[in-house]
Structure 1
């Protein structure tokens, strides 16, 4: 082995992060393959590389047997004693069989195999790096696009942003910097393949973790997220410490924290509501910015009937049912919205055993800054 190859091992180890042992194993495997192919040998062989002087030797490995049936794989006990008298039946004898011109042939044949093994090792390192980044966000640079994907550079590799994961209100140009959510990392024959998203609810959650220190350190927890990417989203937040306002923490001073998320999502409107284990309170909060008069719960069907003032009905339902739909996804409860007039006609409002919801809980929801932030004026 030449000194140049030894130097190359050092460079690959430093620049590519590939251990010298991985490269040595690749070279040895390549040399074994080269020997068998070029010298029409079928015996078991081992290649020994001496990193000290750069030499290489090929050894045939033969088993010591009483009767030899295949001289390529076996050796008699008598012949083995000519090598070393200590050999016994079943031992493996190694005999040097290095051809004179093996170095030249091996170098030519091994080059392609070594390159492939190095490439595989690099792919393995990339896969190991990114498999731990699943369900996380990264900043990438748009490279190009075709009819199926936008290709986003994440440094060592290009990630795939499918059409179905692209926000409808966004256009992507080469060299644009965008934050993406890593949905899946696959190991394929061509190397790691990484799929990313701009529409996944996890992207919204991770963006808030970046902007809100209280979420990052666990003081405030995002309990659930519902999202219609590019248009409107809702998140529910909670803090075990009663002195911490989880909604206010997410909003930030003068709305700076939530506005940073809105800007990253190109104006997507975001409702931040306070989570509660009481479905009456949680559903009422989730229907923000609409006011709620009463929430009637059917535990078995996991369904609720929500009574709202007549003038708030369209606001509670939202454009094309969006507000109610997002609230249902956020809470996990079915939501049937009734106007106060219809509820009175149906005899379901007010209830005889009317709870304190109207006096106490409605006050709680109205003071919790259930805000709708957008780069445009609220609808």
Structure 2
């Protein structure tokens, strides 16, 4: 490859290399820090290379995640560097901030409190529904004490429509949540305990299903599996969605042309990568006001989310996205990944070292 002239070299040199990191399976596994994680962040902070974290995890505010990861790393991080699976829900506040929404995921009042902090004022949980309508779930015996402790009976649910259903992390009581979500998607206008007369009407789009002001359905994490300290990956929010699709197909009679209608964010969706690029660009400008990013290295452990998303993403800013797969999480060394990355590294430290060598080589051998 021919070398660059002086003007082109100056342009390449002025461009920043940036990093987008997954967290679980890249920096931590379960509650344990992966070797090389701390040293990697220390290096990037010293070099002032812009980087953000893009995770399909959630359940806490960005500030809380910063504190938790920073404590494990023994380093100071900025909340502006975090994009969680549900961070794009901030964009839903103008439409749903004053409407009643059902929030699902985690336990206790964790998601209720989180949704309030995002700006959703009228928040209902599945425990609230159990408190007000005890017989909605026929098999409560294993989780009833939890719902009795955290449920709030405000006597409003049968007169107040639910406008949106939002998953913020993996559900805990799958049986109850499947029942409630299915009821609401078949309801008239989002009122619990009703059934829409439009359901099954062949003259309407989707045979009338979800055509009667039922709540809009939002998921924030497509991952079917996630990496924990257990020897094999565990089922995640994407598995719940897969199960719901099967239930929905049966509930709607398996009619041709009927599908479950929902919106999903989180890796590998385009919406999440657009959001992440916006956050990365803002953080890079904070560090280097007169320079812009040239290449973005997406480092992750899951070929079906991290790698697939980076490979498919069409940058809105003209950045070149490159995917790097690490072998410390979902991906098993020696397996052929479902989506081929630009590079495979043993761990995050090796991934970043490879990326920095690649950037250094551009000036000598030409821009890619």
TM-score (norm 1): 0.20
Q: RCO greater where, 1 or 2, for CA within 8 Å and sep 6 or more? A: 2
TM-score (norm 2): 0.21
